[in-house]
């Protein structure tokens, strides 16, 4: 099968985008992994599939697969920005704002006049069961009414905030992201037995009440240059702890995302770029 695709990125988090609006696409795990493979395939952190609207209240279905494993996941924020650029650029809609349904929420995606894209990401969920995270036997330290959970990781103790943006996130605080142990502590928390479906891990440095620096070890992907849901989760946790204002610029290695949250849905604004179009024999 020759499969047309579009390579895109949002702040360096890169994607293969596939159109399944005209004919259904049933790719198996090996085919998805091949698309995600940087040596034997195209290479991408995630594979994004544009599907017909599954219900009348939305314009499209939006499915996401991690490129390394081919596993389906619930959300991808940087991908959502690329999604709207893709459907408008490929003539699939002329709406400025597009509503899409993921496996567990509805997102609204809007292209701005300056070329950036704003995503209504949906609301964060704080119950441990939303990730899921097993808190049995743990006593959190509570700051500003928000729990920080003690975790034993590689014989060290760390404290993490846990929350869901549709997909699971743990956030921890560091003095300097440049020296943060992302490559070691990231996978250890991702695979910690208290996270039954594993977890994305954010390392957050607070620079001021309106500016943070962030690195994210993504579930299944390792460290990526940016993670949209990770930026939302980290900023929301910082706001809940009383450390951040309601509008924050999050600097990631691949670019800056603006995150806004005042309770309710989180808004994320950032770049979305097309790199090239191609075809692959699968």
Ligand X SMILES: N[C@@H](CCC[C@H](N)C(=O)O)C(=O)O
> Residue 104, annotated ligand binder?
no
Distance CA 96, CA 269 (A): 15
Site string for ligand X, 222-261 (x = CB under 6 A): --x--xxx--------------------------------
> Residue 46, annotated ligand binder?
yes
218 binds ligand X (CB under 6 A): yes
Nearest one of 257, 206, 211, 262 to 231, comparing CA atoms: 257
Active site residue 232: no
Nearest approach in angstroms of CB 155 to ligand X is 26
118 binds ligand X (CB under 6 A): no
The stretch among 52-60, 101-109, 143-151, 218-226 that binds ligand X (CB under 6 A) is: 218-226
Among residues 110 and 143, whose Cβ is nearest to ligand X? Answer: 110
- The secondary structure of residue 77, as a DSSP letter, is H
6 binds ligand X (CB under 6 A): no
Q: Which residue has the tokens 């499969």?
A: 3
221 binds ligand X (CB under 6 A): yes
Residues numbered 59-88 forming contacts with ligand X, rule: CB under 6 A: 66, 73, 75-79
Please state, as a whole number, how many other Cβ atoms lie within 10 Å of the Cβ of residue 207. 12
Distance CA 86, CA 198 (A): 30
Handedness of CA 200, 206, 212, 213 (dihedral sign): negative
Nearest approach in angstroms of CB 79 to ligand X is 6
Residues numbered 146-205 forming contacts with ligand X, rule: CB under 6 A: 167, 200
Distance CA 156, CA 148 (A): 16
Among residues 34 and 75, whose Cβ is nearest to ligand X? Answer: 75
Among residues 126 and 143, whose Cβ is nearest to ligand X? Answer: 126
Distance CA 45, CA 282 (A): 18
Site string for ligand X, 14-53 (x = CB under 6 A): -------------------------------xx-------
Query: CB–CB of 48/22 below 8 Å?
Result: no
Answer left, alpha or beta for residue 198, where phi above 0 means left and psi between -120 and 50 means alpha: left
Distance CA 87, CA 60 (A): 9
Return residues touching ligand X (CB under 6 A). Answer: 13, 45-46, 66, 73, 75-79, 167, 200, 218-221, 224, 227-229
Residues carrying an active site annotation: 76, 227
């Amino acid at each position: 099968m020759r499969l047309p695709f579009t390579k895109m990125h949002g702040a360096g988090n890169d994607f293969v985008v596939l159109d399944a609006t005209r004919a259904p696409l049933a790719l198996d795990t090996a085919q998805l992994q091949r698309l995600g493979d940087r040596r034997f395939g195209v290479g991408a952190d995630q594979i994004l599939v544009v599907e017909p609207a599954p219900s009348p209240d939305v314009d499209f279905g939006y499915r996401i697969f991690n490129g390394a494993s081919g596993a389906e996941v619930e959300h991808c924020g940087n991908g959502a920005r690329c999604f709207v650029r893709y459907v408008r650029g490929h003539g699939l809609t002329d709406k400025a704002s597009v509503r899409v349904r993921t496996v567990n929420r509805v997102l609204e995606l809007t292209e701005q006049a300056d070329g950036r894209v704003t995503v209504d990401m949906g609301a964060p969920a704080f119950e441990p069961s939303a990730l899921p995270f097993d808190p049995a036997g743990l006593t959190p330290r509570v700051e500003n009414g928000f729990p920080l959970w003690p975790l034993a990781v590689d014989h060290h103790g760390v404290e993490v905030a846990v929350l869901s943006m549709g997909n699971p996130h743990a956030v921890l605080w560091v003095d300097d992201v440049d020296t943060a142990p992302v490559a070691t502590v990231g996978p250890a928390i991702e695979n910690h037995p208290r996270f039954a479906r594993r977890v994305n891990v954010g390392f957050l440095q607070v620079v001021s009440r309106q500016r943070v620096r962030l690195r994210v070890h993504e579930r299944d992907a390792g460290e990526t240059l940016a993670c949209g849901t990770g930026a939302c989760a980290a900023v929301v946790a910082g706001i809940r702890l009383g450390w951040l204002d309601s509008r924050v610029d999050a600097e990631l290695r691949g670019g800056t995302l603006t995150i806004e949250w005042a309770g309710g849905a989180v808004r994320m604004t950032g770049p979305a770029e097309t790199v090239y179009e191609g075809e692959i024999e699968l």
